Amino acid sequence: MSKNWWKALSVVLLLYVAVAGLLMPVPRLAILNESIRNLYFHVPMWFGMTFILIASVYYSVRYLRTPTPELDILAHESARTGILMGVVGLATGSIWAKYTWGAWWTNDPKLNGAAIAMLIYGAYLVLRSSFTDEQQRARISAIYNIFAFATAMPLFYILPRLTDSLHPGAGGNPAFAKYDLDSDMRMVFYPAVIGWTLLAFWLAQLASRVSLLKQKVYEKQLA
Amino acid sequence: MKNSLPKLRAALLFLLALLLPALRVAAQVATTEEPEMADALRQNGKIYVVVAVIAVVLAGLLFFLISLDRKLTRLEKEVQE
């Protein structure tokens, strides 16, 4: 049980975020109104995605140093979880955009950057599925994963800041941190980021364990 | 599993400590006319219905995740043998 303390923390934090995210006071801002509470759910998706993708790259680098099937599975399932979080982030962002900016999608550098980055990771999954040889698949997708990460992170966090953008945290604007995110919101936002990030790691771990089990059972059948 | 009860209690206390600041919302009154917020929803208390429903749904999903985790642990032990 002691090894799973972070899962319990995730459960506690997520339940707290669901309750406090709706009940805690938020700044009264025009246009955003109550939808500012989306911050507790939309933004943590991207935080969670970033951290799990960092983990994925870490496993890919480790795989290239010591090639074991376990590391390949961990890298793959982490990337898959990251892609899931990113897709949910895009979907929630699109809904939020509709009711604050008036359109489901705008040709905003932040939005397009995120979409391109998600496509790059989508190609990772396509690439993986195009190999029959397991070692070749693992090696080449590990290399691709490193390049995908190195391309996606500037698209998420650097390029949108260099131009004008509607999206907070782009166009040189420091997201909600400076003027909107007050101390009340921080009390929910930071737990939300930690809670959703831990959930991402939990999901990735479960998916990896299923894959590992599948592999072990398969090996036993062959033996 | 023997010492899971104190841990559960600790987790519940932690949750309570995190939730206590939310009580402040009971004292929250609409001070300005604009921008418009969902003040009526808060004043008539229906917001708690929404919060309760979301919390139950989330708790259910997380419970499912926990039981899935336990099942996997059991299966891993079985395969190891």
Please report the pLDDT score of residue B23 as a whole number. 61
Confidence tier at B31 by pLDDT (50, 70, 90)? low
Instruction: Say what the pLDDT of residue A3 is.
Output: 87
Mean residue pLDDT of chain A comes to: 91
| More confident call, A172 vs A19 | A19
Q: Which two tokens stand for residue B27?
A: 């004292």
Query: Which positions in chain B have a beta carbon within 8 angstroms of at least one beta carbon in chain A?
Result: 1, 3-4, 7, 11, 14-15, 18-19, 21-22, 24-25, 28, 32, 34-38, 47, 50-51, 54-55, 58-59, 62, 65-66, 68-69, 72, 75-76, 79
pLDDT of the residue at A152: 95
Give A125-179 pLDDT, tens digit per residue: 999 999 999 999 999 999 999 999 999 999 998 888 888 878 887 766 666 655 5
| CATH code of the domain in which A197 resides | 1.20.120
The pLDDT value recorded for residue A172 is 62
**Does the structure's ipTM exceed the value 0.90?**
no
Residue B41 has pLDDT above 60, yes or no: yes
Q: Where is pLDDT greater, at A68 or A181?
A: A68
Residues of A in contact with B37 (CB under 8 A): 28, 33-34
Any idea how long chain A is? 223
The pLDDT-based confidence of A223 (bands split at 50, 70, 90) is confident
Q: Which of A14, A16, A100, A202 to mutate to test the interface with B (most CBs of B within 10 A)?
A: A16
pLDDT digits (tens, 9 = 90+) for A94-134: 999 999 899 999 988 899 999 999 999 999 999 999 999 99
Domain count, chain A: 1
Secondary structure of chain A as H, E, C letters: CHHHHHHHHHHHHHHHHHHHHHHCCCCCCCCCHHHHHHHHHHHHHHHHHHHHHHHHHHHHHHHHHCCCHHHHHHHHHHHHHHHHHHHHHHHHHHHHHHHHCCCCCCCCHHHHHHHHHHHHHHHHHHHHHCCCCHHHHHHHHHHHHHHHHHHHHHHHHHHHHHCCCCCCCCCCCCCCCCCCCCHHHHHHHHHHHHHHHHHHHHHHHHHHHHHHHHHHHHHHHHC
Give the range of the structural domain holding residue A42, as residue numbers without chain letter: 2-222
Asked if A169 and A109 count as a contact pair (C-beta separation under 8 A), the reply is no
Query: Is any Cβ of chain B less than 8 angstroms from the Cβ of A210?
Result: yes
Angle at B70 between CA B68 and CA B74, to 5 degrees: 115
pLDDT number for residue A148: 96
With CA atoms as reference, report the closest residue to A53 among A83, A10, A24.
A83
Does residue A206 sit at the B interface (CB-CB below 8 Å)? yes
Is pLDDT larger for residue B18 or for residue B24? B18
Between B5 and B53, the more confident residue is B53
Mean pLDDT of B40-53: 89
Checking if the pLDDT of A188 tops 70, the result is: yes
Amino acid A175: pLDDT: 62
